[in-house]
Structure 1
Amino acid sequence: MVSKSTAWASLLALFGTAPIVQALTLNVATGGGNASSPILYGLLFEDVYHSGDGGLYSELIQNRAFQGTTVNQNSDGSAEPPFQTLQYWHTSGSDTLTLDNEAPLLTDALPWHMRVDVAEGATGNTGFWNEGYWGMNITTATRYAANFYLRGNYNGKILCAFWSNTTNSMLGSTTFTVSQTEANGWVPYAQTFTVTTSAPDEKNTFHLDFDGASTAGTSLRFQMISVFQQTYKNSNNGLRIDLAEAVNEIGGKYLRMPGGNNMEGLSAPYLWKWNETIGPIINRPGRPGTWGYVNTDGLGLLEMMQWCLDMGLETILAVWDGLYLDNTILSEADLQPYVDDTLNELEFLLGPSTSTYGALRASLGYPDPFTINYVEIGNEDFLHNGIPTYIDYRFNMFYDAIKNVYPDMNIISSIWVGYFTTPPPVKVIQDLHDYLSVDDMVSKFGGYDHADRNYPVLVGEYAAIYDAEHVNPNQLDNPTLQSATSEAVYFLGLERNADLIVGISHGALIKSLHDEVDNVAMMKHTPNAIVRSMSYYVAKLFATNYGTETVAITGDTAYGPLYWAGTKNDEGTYFIKIVNYDGAASTPVTVVIPGKTNDATLITLTAPDLYSTNTLGDIQSVWTETTVAGSSEGYSFTLQGNYINAVLVA
């Protein structure tokens, strides 16, 4: 006779170890919850790895004003000039391209231009072309606006055209009629046009051609050669449509900007200067950015404020506080002008049009003040030896100045309040950044259950960037199902404490696949495509299914590997979120909400394997929506997958 244990062992040998099915029953309370932060899920933007220039900013031309491209760094991390180049520009005929600064200049902000010297005896068309940001998206579905400034003697036509390198054919063009002399100085040209043929891929370039015979032996000078693809909501100088739509789909409620490390600057004097990012783009000098390339600052302060208006986002404004990334920190005696500049920036954004800086804002097309309720003093001042001076004088100088003029402003500290030797004022918000392994992310589930309610928390940056340490100690190239699900567990812990947590935003909203493929981001892009990561879909799942108050939930089992939390809105809709993090492959669930018997919607997100990831042309994530019948006994359904994220909307 074969014993039961022997038979069971034989079955295991045949079929492998079978996971134990763990059923879950959740009883949801209908009252007694806490008000939840109305902006819990948000967005962080900084121009990192061409998320702005060459990404969300709809300009197609790279190095449009010869401000430079690559930023060289000294051994101490500081930026090393000069930055100006002709990179990404190429001659296409009988001419030579030279970087020149001969007066008169177009503007003081743009001291260099491109001189095009046409060869003696030139005939036919001559000119030059631009590579774009690793190509261009050329389609009949949108409009294009071509602009340039020209100086020199020329009577004739200039043909501006898109070309496909794949088909070696013209995709569309517009023609400018030029009649000017050197005495006219810099003359602007601008036209909007459409193309006749959509490109088969992103391998496209932009060309300017003119008559070689009539310019032979002479020079023409060009500056601010710009081509915009039609923008999101047709805003001026605005956002790339597909990327902006993808950002909006996340459902975030705030925008933390202008960064990140890119606000701080590599070294003096290259901090992000708000007043050099406003007004006509010919008046914006740009600067060496933090992430290896020169920023045009075309996507400047007002463009980001318009972004907030277009998507209905609360603004969380960060201001520079005296720290550079090369560890240079301004002394107390030298900091006051920057405190004053912060007040000028706030007057520009919040002041009446009769004030000095409010009038400047009005002159740029925004007569009405914006609404800003949150200002963060600095960014990550716990790094670069920043803590002692932040505590000693930097935080207080900015805090006192801002509160004196705007007493109701919510002030955010960029360091944990526990670092302060003298506690900061109650209700100062602390910005905490969590870049963690998947195990550490899950361990944070209960991390705020007993936190001091006097000091709210903004998780200004988060990401699961490592596998379990025993699996792979290196950073992930892309979010996996496992890493995104660990972030979901983290979210549940925040939702349970949404009376304390102001908001949360991923540390990398957008990155270029051509610039940085080797670490995580919510989205990565090419000129004509977007990859929405596992983290993107988890954030969207949670942000678009979130109520105005928490609800208490009693489970019939302890947390782990199943985790849950719930909220409801003012209309009585409940959002019950359940995450299975490395649990059973099949999990029966029953959710009981007293008085609720209407049909509900179950939304789930999973993928074939814990290491599944979304890449260009290979999307592994699976988003499903099904109807769950309601009854007096609750809502019953089964979650399929060891790693699965679910929301019951009832």
Structure 2
Amino acid sequence: MFSRCVGLVLLSAGLRVASGLNLQLATSGGNASSPLLYGLLYEDVYHSGDGGLYAELIQNRAFQGTTVNVDGSGQQVPPFRTLEYWHTEGSDVLTIDNAAHALSDALPWHMRVDVAQGATGDTGFWNEGYWGMDVKQATTYTASFYLRGDYTGEIRGAFWSNTTNSKLGDTVFDVSQSDSDGWIKYEKTFIPTSSAPDEKNTFHITFDGAQTSGKSLRFNLISVFPQTYKNSNSELRQDLAQALNDTNGKFLRFPGGNNMEGQSSPYMWKWNETIGPLIDRPGRPGTWGYYNTDGFGLLEMMQWCIDMELEPILAVWGGLYLDGEIISEENLQPYIDDVLNELEFLMGPTSSPYGALRASLGYPEPFTIKYVEVGNEDFLNGGIPTYVAYRFNRFYDAIRAVYPNMTMVSSIWIGYFNGQAPIGVVQDLHDYLSVSDMVAHFGGYDHADRNYPVLVGEYAAIYDAQHTPPNQLDNPTLQSATSEAIYFLGLERNADLIVGIAHGALIKSLHDEPDNVAMLKHSPTEIVYSMSYYVAKLFASYYGSETVPVAADSPYGPLYWAATKDAAAGTYFLKIVNYDGAASTPVTVSIPGKTGQAKLITLTAPDAYSTNTLGNSTSVWTETTLFNGDEVEGNHVNVNIYIG
């Protein structure tokens, strides 16, 4: 017997039963709902970007480094450059080097390959990838690298399976250059001849040992890309991108998140270092313990918005580093100017300097930005006094002076402004809660001040009844996901106030941080779709343009409900959540004047603590079309809907 479920009815019909909970949906009297209500938050956290959504297969491709350490004062400790994840093919020696001339100012370090004296046959090196690689037959891959040195002959790039110790596919680069030629880029597309049995695959670059005996070859920016989502400039990994698109979210909040703020000076996210050719992107030590390549930069994120028709909610740095360093008021103007430059880059005409730069990078038409958030979680590390005193207002005034219709978002609760915040400012509130607190928030916005809309920029139920602070859930359970669903119901009831909501952890790598919740977790070849993922998908996929009052003859608990209506189509959406309730509860639903059919969708699992893990998905999504006179009951549905 399933003991918990989320039930949803897509209604264009009248429903009734003889006993149990009776719900009557009104045909008028609701409020206009936010068109954006459900969306996505992106930041590169736990290899959600590099090694995740960003489709690059080579780790440490430009020798920028990987692991980032933090000292006792919270400062990130250089140097970051290493040869981690690179290995010699034979007796060659690999060395990190910055001898002139550099490939670019942004990428001054490279890998020098010293070939052993007397070498013969194939020699070279290989890369582990991000804990393996996904290699599929009939998928096109693009391999490229920059080379400096004296060599004429072939260089072979090949996928190898560590499991079968066999080559999966390769391509050959024809090389003819001398030391005086400097850096030359080589690029080839190819299709593997075999699919790998698992993720344990590597990429090898080899060349003729006899031709290079006793010599040195220098390599930089070694890259391998599979086909990307929609073959787009967004550079998104296909399966992860499709999973996100399938949630039917309507906005993307980016680029974070704590990763935008930076752990310490000067490592904030810098928009102008994430655009243009990859050789001009230096990357930076990210907040989450590893170096960011910034290959997935500002324009890639904007292309993501285009590809999935998402409203961009752009976060800009607000003067706070995570170690507590705050920019003083007298030193803040250059950072404000930088934000104005970023907005001109995105929205300016091609006659403007930064608009012309955007056009030169392939985007002549301006983007549309309607929302700008100043900072992220500026309540952290003593940030509230300066945010209220000058930081938010300085950014607000400067941006609104140029873009008077811009909706500005505060990264702290509006109450901290003591009534001095401009009317209409959106407040970004982050709720990482226990399941009981999630449920308690069901009515939390019923009487909130409508002058200050709310963006729930991050949420997650991180503790259930078996996990209490500080022991977070490893993965969302059915109990935690249904508590999030009840939270959603409260937001839908107040969707005239709530701008949008996004799960606080969108994607995490199973090889990096599997021990706390995320909507999706991934390996190089597979995805775990969490209970929270399916709840978010269910709610976002069935949602109307206005709220609908619902009359009931019983109080909330263990059943919770809310309804919306698509005014144009006349379609009603009723969502019912059974939280810690009886195994079966009859429900009557009626809509005056409606007849026809209904679609019942249920999300269920064996018990409250069921969870989805790699290779073991316990959630069950069921869809049933119901006609007048139909009855649905049984152990696969907790909320039984009778139609007649």
Structure 1 match to 2:163: 166
Structure 1 match to 2:601: 603
Q: Greater CA deviation, 367-376 or 587-596?
A: 587-596
Paired residue for 2:556, among 541, 559, 563? 559
Structure 2 match to 1:508: 505
Paired residue for 1:493, among 490, 494, 507? 490
Instruction: Note closer, same or farther for the CA distance 1:520–1:382 as it changes in structure 2 (3 Å cut).
Output: same
Q: Give 5+ residue unaligned stretches, structure 1.
A: 1-20
How far off is 1:296 after superposition? 0.2
Structure 2 match to 1:132: 129
**Separation in 2 of the partners of 1:116 and 1:639?**
67
1:548-574: CA deviation from partner (whole Å, max 9, x where unpaired): 001111111001111000011121111
Alignment of 1:586 with 2:584, yes or no, is yes
SS in 2 for 1:578: strand
**Separation in 2 of the partners of 1:92 and 1:649?**
69
Query: Where do residues 416-427 of structure 1 align in structure 2 (5 Å cutoff)?
Result: 416-427=413-424
Paired residue for 2:481, among 458, 480, 484? 484
Alignment of 1:292 with 2:275, yes or no, is no
Instruction: Note closer, same or farther for the CA distance 1:158–1:417 as it changes in structure 2 (3 Å cut).
Output: same
Instruction: Note closer, same or farther for the CA distance 1:470–1:285 as it changes in structure 2 (3 Å cut).
Output: closer
SS in 1 for 2:138: coil
1:393-452: CA deviation from partner (whole Å, max 9, x where unpaired): 000000000000000000000000101134211110000000000000000000000000
**Separation in 2 of the partners of 1:624 and 1:439?**
27
**Separation in 1 of the partners of 2:605 and 2:540?**
20
How far off is 1:94 after superposition? 2.8
Alignment of 1:411 with 2:426, yes or no, is no
1:441-489: CA deviation from partner (whole Å, max 9, x where unpaired): 0000000000000000000000000013787761000000000000000
Moved over 4 A (4+): 469-473, 635-642, 644-650
Structure 2 match to 1:458: 455
Instruction: Note closer, same or farther for the CA distance 1:161–1:647 as it changes in structure 2 (3 Å cut).
Output: farther
**Separation in 2 of the partners of 1:440 and 1:189?**
56
**Separation in 2 of the partners of 1:306 and 1:340?**
24
Aligned 8 A contact 2:606 2:618 in 1: yes
**Separation in 1 of the partners of 2:581 and 2:292?**
46
1:545-603: CA deviation from partner (whole Å, max 9, x where unpaired): 00100111111100111100001112111110000101110111121011221111100
Structure 1 match to 2:337: 340
SS in 2 for 1:247: helix
Alignment of 1:226 with 2:186, yes or no, is no
1:491-515: CA deviation from partner (whole Å, max 9, x where unpaired): 0000000000000000000000000
Alignment of 1:522 with 2:519, yes or no, is yes
What amino acid maps onto 2:275 in structure 1? I
**Separation in 1 of the partners of 2:199 and 2:19?**
49
Paired residue for 2:534, among 534, 537, 546? 537
Aligned 8 A contact 1:589 1:636 in 2: no
SS in 1 for 2:50: helix
Aligned 8 A contact 1:426 1:455 in 2: yes
SS in 1 for 2:381: coil
How far off is 1:111 after superposition? 0.9
Paired residue for 2:82, among 65, 85, 88? 85
Structure 2 match to 1:301: 298
**Separation in 1 of the partners of 2:117 and 2:515?**
49
Paired residue for 2:237, among 222, 235, 240? 240
**Separation in 1 of the partners of 2:643 and 2:206?**
58
Aligned 8 A contact 1:146 1:191 in 2: yes
Aligned 8 A contact 1:589 1:638 in 2: no
Structure 2 match to 1:619: 617
How far off is 1:649 after superposition? 13
Alignment of 1:375 with 2:354, yes or no, is no
Structure 2 match to 1:274: 271
How far off is 1:142 after superposition? 1.4
**Separation in 2 of the partners of 1:178 and 1:533?**
47
Instruction: Note closer, same or farther for the CA distance 1:160–1:120 as it changes in structure 2 (3 Å cut).
Output: same
How far off is 1:638 after superposition? 4.2
Q: Give 5+ residue unaligned stretches, structure 2.
A: 1-17
SS in 2 for 1:162: strand
What amino acid maps onto 1:324 in structure 2? Y
Structure 2 match to 1:385: 382
Alignment of 1:211 with 2:208, yes or no, is yes
**Separation in 2 of the partners of 1:647 and 1:125?**
69
Structure 1 match to 2:15: none
**Separation in 2 of the partners of 1:398 and 1:460?**
20
Structure 1 match to 2:48: 51
| TM-score, length-scaled by structure 1 | 0.94
Alignment of 1:360 with 2:370, yes or no, is no
Aligned 8 A contact 2:463 2:469 in 1: yes
What amino acid maps onto 2:121 in structure 1? G
What amino acid maps onto 2:118 in structure 1? G
How far off is 1:22 after superposition? 8.4
Instruction: Note closer, same or farther for the CA distance 1:390–1:647 as it changes in structure 2 (3 Å cut).
Output: farther
What amino acid maps onto 1:538 in structure 2? V
How far off is 1:540 after superposition? 0.2
Instruction: Note closer, same or farther for the CA distance 1:355–1:646 as it changes in structure 2 (3 Å cut).
Output: farther
How far off is 1:629 after superposition? 1.6
Structure 1 match to 2:307: 310
| TM-score, length-scaled by structure 2 | 0.95
Identical columns (%): 73
C-alpha root-mean-square deviation of aligned residues, in Å?
1.9
Aligned 8 A contact 2:234 2:299 in 1: no
What amino acid maps onto 2:586 in structure 1? P
**Separation in 2 of the partners of 1:179 and 1:253?**
50
SS in 2 for 1:27: strand
How far off is 1:78 after superposition? 1.5
**Separation in 2 of the partners of 1:501 and 1:142?**
42
How far off is 1:141 after superposition? 3.5
Structure 2 match to 1:192: 189
What amino acid maps onto 2:628 in structure 1? G
Structure 2 match to 1:75: 72
**Separation in 2 of the partners of 1:443 and 1:304?**
35
Paired residue for 2:107, among 101, 110, 113? 110
SS in 2 for 1:390: helix
Paired residue for 1:251, among 248, 252, 255? 248
Structure 2 match to 1:9: none
Instruction: Note closer, same or farther for the CA distance 1:470–1:350 as it changes in structure 2 (3 Å cut).
Output: closer
SS in 2 for 1:54: coil
How far off is 1:641 after superposition? 7.0
Instruction: Note closer, same or farther for the CA distance 1:237–1:159 as it changes in structure 2 (3 Å cut).
Output: farther
How far off is 1:133 after superposition? 0.1
How far off is 1:140 after superposition? 1.1
Instruction: Note closer, same or farther for the CA distance 1:72–1:133 as it changes in structure 2 (3 Å cut).
Output: same
